Amino acid sequence: MADYHSPTVIAPDVPIADMTPLERCLLTHMFGFDVAGDAVYFYAELSIELRPFIELKALRQAYAESQGVPSQCLEPVGKLLDRFAVVDETEMVDADLVDEFEDLPYLRILQDIVRRSATINWFTVTTAYTCTAMRVDGFGGRAALVCADRIFSQSTDAFLESCFEDAKPEGH
């Protein structure tokens, strides 16, 4: 059986002061992380957890503490929390926000951080696609540049497709 992996790194480190409690809660459940002084280095050794399980109490607290700060994740998390009336606060919640965004939720979270930051102008997100078997569809990658007003993202497959289009002789 082949296992597919997508190790990922985010650069530069994310200043703790620039993240809302909700953004930090979500990112630390989607990625592995190391705290280095006043910033956090986010990475995924195998794959990003796009549907993280988070303790309901912690998610509610982070959501409440993040009110009043513009963030694209507030509304979708609010809708998610509304589905859980009075339940066991130690319950783990599937924080699946993928369908709420036109692209990957962590890219939108990083974009909000850039928009508010006085020190960060962009983030890069670099992902390698690997496989434990030598399969054509198991290798490649994606790079994203997250800016305040736009997110640029392209896979290696899309890059190669554009190269093939440019390499076609006229009339073919």
The model's confidence at residue 88, banded by pLDDT at 50, 70 and 90, is low
| Average pLDDT in the chain | 89
The stretch 108-130 carries a mean pLDDT of 96
153-166 pLDDT tens trace: 999 998 888 888 88
Query: pLDDT at position 44, please?
Result: 97
Residue 124, by phi and psi: left (phi above 0), alpha (psi -120 to 50) or beta?
Answer: beta
pTM (whole model) above 0.85? yes
Q: How far apart are CA 66 and CA 70, in angstroms?
A: 9
Burial class, 163, CB count within 10 angstroms (exposed 0-12 / middle 13-18 / buried 19+) = exposed
Q: How far apart are CA 77 and CA 27, in angstroms?
A: 13
Contact 10, 120 (CB under 8 A): no
Query: pLDDT at position 85, please?
Result: 66
Query: pLDDT at position 98, please?
Result: 72
Quote the Cα angle for 125-129-135, to 5°. 170
- pLDDT reading at 92 higher than 90: no
With a pLDDT cut of 70, the percent of the chain lying above it is 92
First CA to last CA distance, the chain: 40
Domain spans, the chain: 4-167
Kind and range of the H or E run holding 43: strand 39-44
Buried b (16+ CB within 10 A) or exposed e, 34-44: eeeeebbbbeb
The stretch 38-49 carries a mean pLDDT of 95
- pLDDT reading at 107 higher than 90: yes
Query: pLDDT at position 95, please?
Result: 78
Burial class, 124, CB count within 10 angstroms (exposed 0-12 / middle 13-18 / buried 19+) = middle
